[in-house]
């Protein structure tokens, strides 16, 4: 097995262990209790993104694993997450827990498909972090307030204080005001655009360490856009 693939398996194994620890030992709360817990829950996503970015596509194609991998990802969403969410529809806390798992899983499935389709290591990482920053930006909260016809006076008009946005609270130190939330979202979108467009030449320095077989040009210039 190539050095690159060994690192891929290593990162994937760490992600699996950490995700299992989080699911088994941490409470399944909707509210984010602290910045430490927030960052800890993001770590399996980051480790899996590195695992996917380093996967040896030629090896998977050699053993005809590409289609089975992608189909199994679809079936995981369709036959596990969705039935669980329907089952717990009357228990918001449990249903929300599965939503929290499903969204990053969908992102990781997308970057896996991108990698298997020829995406380079830095491109896969850029794409993963672009969507990660969008996921934690609060744009979903804004969409909740704008794409739905609310009758609950707590949500219409758009409230002055976003009292439910604990993922913003742990980073700001308080629940955001409406204008603070707008700025918070805009900053994260800006960071996503920067990550997507900027060529991180620093990645090329780690080529030898990880045993990456892609060309120097690909590591320096390739991007998802």
Summarised one tens digit per residue, pLDDT across range 57-107 is 999 999 999 999 999 999 999 999 999 999 999 999 999 999 999 999 999
Give the confidence band of 1 by pLDDT, cuts at 50, 70, 90.
low
Radius of gyration of the chain (CA): 19
Quote the domain boundaries for residue 190: 3-221
Task: Quote the pTM value.
Answer: 0.91
Residue among 72, 34, 105 at smallest CA distance from 97: 105
Mean pLDDT over 3-22 rounds to 96
Q: Is the pLDDT of residue 143 over 90?
A: yes
How many domains in the chain? Answer: 1
Q: Is the pLDDT of residue 117 over 90?
A: yes
Euclidean distance between the first and the last CA atom of the chain, given in angstroms as a whole number: 31
Alpha-carbon separation of residue 87 from 49, 81, 84, 172 (angstroms): 30, 10, 5, 35
Q: Is the pLDDT of residue 225 over 50?
A: no
């Amino acid at each position: 097995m190539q050095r690159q693939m060994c690192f891929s398996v290593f990162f994937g194994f760490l992600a699996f262990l950490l995700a299992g620890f989080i699911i088994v030992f941490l409470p399944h709360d909707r509210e984010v209790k602290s910045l430490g817990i927030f960052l800890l829950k993001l770590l399996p996503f980051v480790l899996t993104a590195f695992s996917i970015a380093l996967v040896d596509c030629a090896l998977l194609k050699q053993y005809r694993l590409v289609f089975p991998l992608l189909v199994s990802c679809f079936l995981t969403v369709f036959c596990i997450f969705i039935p669980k969410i329907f089952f717990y529809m009357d228990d918001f806390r449990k249903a929300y827990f599965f939503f929290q798992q499903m969204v990053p899983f969908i992102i990781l499935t997308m970057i896996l498909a991108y990698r298997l389709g020829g995406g380079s290591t830095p491109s896969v990482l850029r794409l993963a972090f672009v969507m990660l920053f969008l996921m934690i930006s609060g744009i979903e909260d804004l969409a909740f307030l704008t794409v739905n016809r609310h009758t609950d006076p707590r949500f219409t008009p758009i409230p002055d204080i976003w009292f439910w946005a604990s993922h913003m609270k742990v980073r700001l130190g308080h629940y955001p005001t409406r204008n603070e939330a707008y700025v918070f979202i805009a900053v994260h979108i800006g960071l996503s655009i920067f990550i997507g467009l900027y060529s991180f030449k620093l990645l090329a320095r780690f080529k030898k360490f990880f045993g990456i077989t892609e060309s120097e040009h690909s590591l320096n210039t390739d991007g998802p856009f």
